[in-house]
Amino acid sequence: MSAELQTALLATGVTAGYGGDPVIRDVSVRAESGQVISVVGPNGSGKSTLLKAIVGVLRVSAGRVSIRGRDVTNATPEDMARTGVGYVPQVDDVFAPLSVRENLEMGGYLLPRQQVPDRIEHVLTVFPRLSTMVRRPAGKLSGGERKMLALARVLMLGPDLFLLDEPTANLAPAIARTLLDEQVTELAKSGAAVLIVEQRARAVLAVSDYTYVMGGGQLRMEGTPAELTASPAFVASFLGGHHDPAGSAG
């Protein structure tokens, strides 16, 4: 019982879709505080859908989502924010016509008014690049800067659970590396749970405590990065087909 209370995120048997047939079926993932948990898989495997279902953007038709023991299945995104969940979508991740500072203020919407300026100060020390452009409209930032702003925005509330949807998509490899190696691991080190969906499997495995592999809307494999990289089936699941241990075509 108390173990469940500590589990930052527990999703069991989640089935969800966009209204018609379900896109993901019977998916279960779990994240503890201080951990970086990754969900990888080829395109179209349902990774983004899983995050959207957890955070309430999509309807869950079967299964259960709980945060620290509390049932939040099909809670609205506004309520999820109040539960201490910070979600960064893959696209449309900033308020383009608002300035950088105003984006951060929106991130701190739920905070008491007096706390906001200090919180902004703190967040800007984590992302120093942003402090040089606080007045600039978010729509005018470069790809990497936008992603930083998107992360900084969720950081404002100091959530216990971060849900990141392909944060390194469209980022140059060096920036992507920094994001994962430094900033994402920082989040976990400060005690939050991080559930991160990624296409760059190698890079994210390097910083993960545990990884789930999805394919065709279902969970195909799971394990620690070490277990997975040692498994031939892991590579095969990315490249389709069956792996023949003899090495010839499948």
Partner 1 sequence: MLYLIILLVYTAVDAMACLGLSQQFGVAGVTNFGFIIFQAAGAYMAAVLALPSDSANGGFQLYIGGFHLPFPLPWIGAAAAGGVLALPFTFLVGRRLRGDFAAVGLLVTAVLLNLLVTNYRPLFNGDAGVSLVPAPLHSGMFVGTSNGYQYGFAIGGLVLAVAVYWFLRRITESPYGRSLRAMRDNDKVADSLGKNLVALRTGVLVTGGAIAGLSGAILVDFIGVWSPAAWSYAETIVLFTAVIIGGAGNHVGALLGALLVPVGFEEITRYISNNNPNLPPNLLPSLQWVAIGLLIAVFLWVRPQGVLPERKRVIEPPAQEARTQRTRRWRSSPTPEVLKAIGVSKDFGGVQAVAGVSLSVTKGTLTGLIGPNGAGKSTLLSLLAGTEKVSSGRISYMGQDITVLPAYRRARVGLVRTFQLASEFKRLTVVENLLSAVPGNRGDSFLGALAGRWYWRRDEAGAAERAYALIESFGLGDKANDYAGDLSGGQRRLVEIMRALMTEPDVLLLDEPMAGVHPDLARRIGEALRELCRQGMTILMVEHELAIVDELCDPVIVMADGQVLAQGTMAELRDRSEVVEAYLVG
Partner 2 sequence: MASVGFGLITAAVLAISAVGFTLQFAVTNVLNLAFASIMTLAAFVAYWINQAGMSIWIALIASMAVGALVSVALNYAVYSPFQRRGSAPITLVIVSLGMALIIEFGVAAIDGGISVSYNMGQSRTLRFAGLILTTVQLIIIAISVVVMVGVYGLLRYTKLGKAMRATAANRMLARNCGIRAGQVISATWALTGALCGLAGTVFAIDVGSFDPTSTDIFLVLILAAVFLGGPGHAYGAMLGALIIGLATEVSAAYIAADYKYVVAFVILLAMLAVRPTGLLGAKT
Contact with partner 2 (CB under 8 A): which of 13, 69, 139, 191?
A: 139
Q: Compute the least distance from the CB of residue 78 to partner 2, in Å.
A: 5
Q: What DSSP line would sit under the chain, residue for residue?
A: -HHHHHEEEEEEEEEEESSSSEEEEEEEEEEETT-EEEEE-STTSSHHHHHHHHHTSS-EEEEEEEETTEE-TT--HHHHHHTTEEEE-SSS-S-TTSBHHHHHHHHTTTS-TTHHHHHHHHHHHHSGGGGGGTTSBGGGS-HHHHHHHHHHHHHTT--SEEEEESTTTTS-HHHHHHIIIIIIHHHHHTT-EEEEEES-HHHHHTT-SEEEEEETTEEEEEE-HHHHHH-HHHHHHHH-S---TT-S--
Contact with partner 1 (CB under 8 A): which of 70, 82, 122, 202?
A: 202
Residue (46 or 107) nearer to partner 2, CB: 107
44 binds, among partner 2, partner 1, none (CB under 5 to 8 A by kind): partner 1
Kindly state whether residue 171 participates in binding partner 2, applying the rule CB under 8 A: no
Kindly state whether residue 192 participates in binding partner 1, applying the rule CB under 8 A: no
- Restricting to residues 32-61, which ones interact with partner 1 according to CB under 8 A? 42-44
Kindly state whether residue 153 participates in binding partner 2, applying the rule CB under 8 A: yes
Kindly state whether residue 139 participates in binding partner 1, applying the rule CB under 8 A: no
Q: Compute the least distance from the CB of residue 166 to partner 1, in Å.
A: 8
71 binds, among partner 1, partner 2, none (CB under 5 to 8 A by kind): none
Applying CB under 8 A, the residues found at the interface with partner 2 are 55, 57, 76-78, 80-82, 87, 89, 92-98, 102, 105-107, 109-110, 113, 139, 153, 157
